Structure 1
């Protein structure tokens, strides 16, 4: 089963841009940090720009945060890269003639909605600044 790492990668990208301010930040350089490819990085940067989280000028490898890290939430980033895509997905291929198959999926869907609301509430409370502070603490602890 495939799962999305877009949120993790987008947060990584934003922290990398924040921490490497003033450096040459080509999509190749960012892709190296993500162990991904430059094309995917450019697509992600486009989504982040459209969401007002990242600013950059075509032809200049100097992207920067479009607003302070304390004003960017994990939910902002999630919505930028995943849109309205839910975290959890129902199995829609159950037998429609089976009372359990139909009704249990509806109940599970209600539970998934509760989980989505709780996750989004938590993501809204975590800022990029929080992630950067914890990242720096982890680095300092390794010294």
Structure 2
């Protein structure tokens, strides 16, 4: 099973919009940074626009953040691109005649719910400002070593 990268790609896209705000922000340029196709970028931008995290004007290459970075949490971004999909899923097809197969769904469900709750709380506390600040710190470290 392939793990979705929409969430990290959406964070990447939003950080890119902030850091490169003074450039032409085409879907091709953003796609080159994410190393994906412009179609994927446009699809993610559409989800972010519906969630009111960005604004766009048809026919222009200037998408903008709809709110200050510190007012956009990673949980907002997650919900924008993943909806309310759970982070973890229990296999519903197990052998009910087996001790493990007959009980694994109910046992794992609570552990998974606890993990989901903790992850959502952490994502809610982390803003895009935190991400952009960390990106700039990392770049400064790289620049210092050159």
TM-score tier (shorter): over 0.9
CA contact (8 A) 1:22 1:62 kept: no
Structure 2 residue ranges without an equivalent (≥5): none
TM-score of the aligned structures, taking structure 1 as reference length: 0.97
Question: Which structure is higher in strand share?
Answer: 1
Q: Distance in 2 between matches of 1:26 and 1:96?
A: 53
Q: Distance in 2 between matches of 1:63 and 1:100?
A: 51
CA contact (8 A) 2:18 2:65 kept: yes
RMSD: 0.9
Q: Distance in 2 between matches of 1:97 and 1:82?
A: 35
Structure 1 residue ranges without an equivalent (≥5): none
Deviation at 1:54, TM superposition (A): 0.6
Query: How many residues are treated as equivalent by the alignment?
Result: 143
Query: Deviation per CA, 1:68-118, whole angstroms, max 9, x where unpaired?
Result: 000000000000000011111111121133342121221101110000000
Q: Distance in 2 between matches of 1:99 and 1:142?
A: 53
Q: Is the partner of 1:15 in helix, strand or coil? A: helix
Q: Is the partner of 2:56 in helix, strand or coil? A: strand
Q: Is the partner of 1:13 in helix, strand or coil? A: helix
Runs of 4+ in structure 1 deviating by more than 2 angstroms, as ranges, are 96-100
Deviation at 1:142, TM superposition (A): 1.1
Q: Distance in 2 between matches of 1:44 and 1:123?
A: 19
Q: Distance in 2 between matches of 1:138 and 1:99?
A: 49
CA contact (8 A) 2:16 2:30 kept: yes
Give the 5 Å matches for 1:29-108.
29-108=29-108
TM-score of the aligned structures, taking structure 2 as reference length: 0.95
Q: Is the partner of 1:41 in helix, strand or coil? A: helix
Equivalent position of 2:109 in the other structure: 109
CA contact (8 A) 2:96 2:103 kept: no
Deviation at 1:22, TM superposition (A): 2.4
Give the 5 Å matches for 1:22-33.
22-33=22-33
